[in-house]
Amino acid sequence: MHLLFRRHILVEEAGIAAEFLSAVTRTAQSIKQGKHTIKALESGTPRLRMAASLNKRKHREKHGRIMLEGWRHIREAFMAKAKVLNIFYSNPALLDHIDTSSLPSSCLAQISEETMESLSSAVTPPGIIGMFKRPRQGEGGELKNRNTLQLPLTVLCDGLKDPTNLGTLVRTSAAAACQSFITSTGCVDVWDPKVLRCAAGGHFYLPIHYNLDWEEIEAVIADKRIFLADNNISDDLCIPSSAHFLVDWTQGPSVLVIGGETTGLGEIIKNIAWQHQGQLVRVPMANTIDCLSAAMAGTVIIYEAYRQLLIAEQDR
């Protein structure tokens, strides 16, 4: 009798413990953040499957969505009025850096560290990732300082495959107040997560035209002087050449075309430049180095143009 009674108490205590554990679990999955009650997401949900797929270009293009990693990029996207779809985070403290007061609770979701690692392509996951609608063609520049001088230079990347180079050029173009940025169909996706990280928010400081074919590119660069940044173009093309610092970049709207390090510029843009009295620009080098990286050469030329703009403004 005593043993039966004792067993009954143990079963009852076990039930209470199970109920308590369930309550703790429910509480852990519901986090209060400001006015929102945020539920933790388990891996494998449709939203997370969608987010994970955006590391591939074909899915970004299919769904028209991009991923921004880190609170700084997300905050700049908010400032630029980009359309946010979801914010995933593994570190709740990072939400303090962005204004989530106007977001519905369904937009915010806490995830595990393991899930964050699966979503991020970075070596060290950022702890917070945002899924946004991909900006339309020619959008960007919302964060540009309207009181800053604008460099009348459009940067066109032709066949640039390396995301680090492309992201660096977006960043440099934004920092030098370039007019716009263009990528051809042969380039790495300008919305690739690695490009976005290297650009450090530059996408929101100048208009970006991406994945354009040559008919579209010609329409965008019409009435602009064409300069080809390439040290390896044959003299047979009969295009005049000069050092980058001998060009007067303040004379009027120009387009600087930068190609990939391996293949260089394509034949189409070379012919377009020849037909429109284009010009080669070279960055002088002291030794017989084959070439600078695309990002380095582009940065040197872009900042020479920006230097000239600043001096011209001071002389007025």
- 166, 298: one domain: yes
Q: Is residue 309 part of a domain?
A: yes
- Among 133, 162, 180, the domain-final residue is 133
Question: What letter does residue 8 receive in the DSSP assignment?
Answer: H
In Å, what is the CA distance from 105 to each residue of 33, 67, 270, 291? 9, 19, 52, 52
Cα–Cα distance, 309 to 163 (Å, whole number): 29
- Is 101 a domain residue? yes
* pLDDT tens by residue, the chain, 316 residues: 444 444 444 444 444 344 433 333 333 344 444 444 444 555 568 888 889 999 999 999 999 999 999 999 999 999 888 899 999 999 999 999 998 888 888 899 999 999 999 888 888 899 999 999 998 888 877 777 666 788 999 999 999 999 999 999 999 999 999 999 999 998 999 999 999 999 998 999 899 999 999 999 999 999 999 999 976 665 566 788 899 999 999 998 999 999 987 778 888 998 899 888 899 999 988 877 777 889 999 999 999 999 999 999 887 7
Residues 302, 178 contacting (CB under 8 angstroms)? yes
DSSP label at residue 176: T
CA pair distance 97, 80, nearest whole angstrom = 16
Tokens 């959008």 found at: 139
In a domain, 144, yes or no: no
Same domain, 172 and 272: yes
Dig out the tokens for 62 from the structure: 């299919």
Domains in the chain: how many in total? 2
Domain that holds residue 61: 37-133
CATH of the domain at 306: 3.40.1280.10
Residues 299 and 172: beta-carbon distance below 8 Å: yes
Q: Do both 125 and 251 map to the same domain?
A: no
CATH code of the domain containing 92 = 3.30.1330.30
